[in-house]
Structure 1
Amino acid sequence: MTDETNLIAWSLEEVAERHGDPTQAVYERLFAQSPEMAELFVGDKTGAARGEMLAVVFQTLLDFSGAGAFGANMIRAEIVNHENLGVPPKVFVTFFRTVMETLRELLGSDWTPPVAAAWDEMLAGLDAAIHREAAV
């Protein structure tokens, strides 16, 4: 594992340990920033779909920042799947940033410069991958 992957993993684990499942906090932030996104989850009465999606996002983030075995392909596939729902690729950039912002808020002063740098580096790579896919 790289230092970046270790810091990303640490931040995810630390949030889970301190706050439990961050799904509600992530989606509250997303819907506050992009209210139109809430309409896509109108059928998700229990929040199960949101929780499942966030779990996949966490796995993808860890892979993308580390081994790279499937993360880029997962993003590519989900861009296509979500386009069929009317979700433009740029929403992925927004969503990944929303995840980071939520974790940063939940960790407070433990969101150190090295953790921030690891997330910034990973998000830059994700942004580039998403823009490549959107251009195809």
Structure 2
Amino acid sequence: MFVRLLAATAVSLVIAVLIYFSPSIISHFPVPMVINLVNKEHPTNEVYYPMKITFRQSGGYAGLRLGYEVETASLPAEEVTKLESLVQQSGILQTGNTTNTTPAARDLLQYQITVETQGISHQVSFDDLSILPGMEPLLDYLQNHARAV
């Protein structure tokens, strides 16, 4: 009986710490979280897996390097829904780690997109001539948010 009470107290303490430090701690866990603990704008009955998305663009004639990094736990609900839809549509989570570039084309823009979710990292690299099917809407979104790095 005492052991159960002690275990229940420990679990309550862990939950209280997580709530106090959210989203900085919660966004690093690869398990589903109640969205309300991560971002107050989300309805409390939804569950999702936080994602971290990293985008890098380089090359081209000018050699400009652009980048964008975002964690979905820090975004408003509408933006999370849009970004998750674009990631699903791109197929990056099903593709796995792939590199698809054109070796002879030196002045093309090179892209690298990494999506981390549930403790797994999915990375794709491609250029303007080898854009993967379904990737263009996500690429457009990321390019619109990217800044010089």
| TM-score, normalised via structure 2 length | 0.28
Larger C-alpha radius of gyration, 1 or 2? 2
Query: Which has the larger helix fraction?
Result: 1
TM-score normalised by the chain length of structure 1: 0.30
Higher relative strand content: 2
Higher relative contact order (CA 8 A, sep 6+): 1
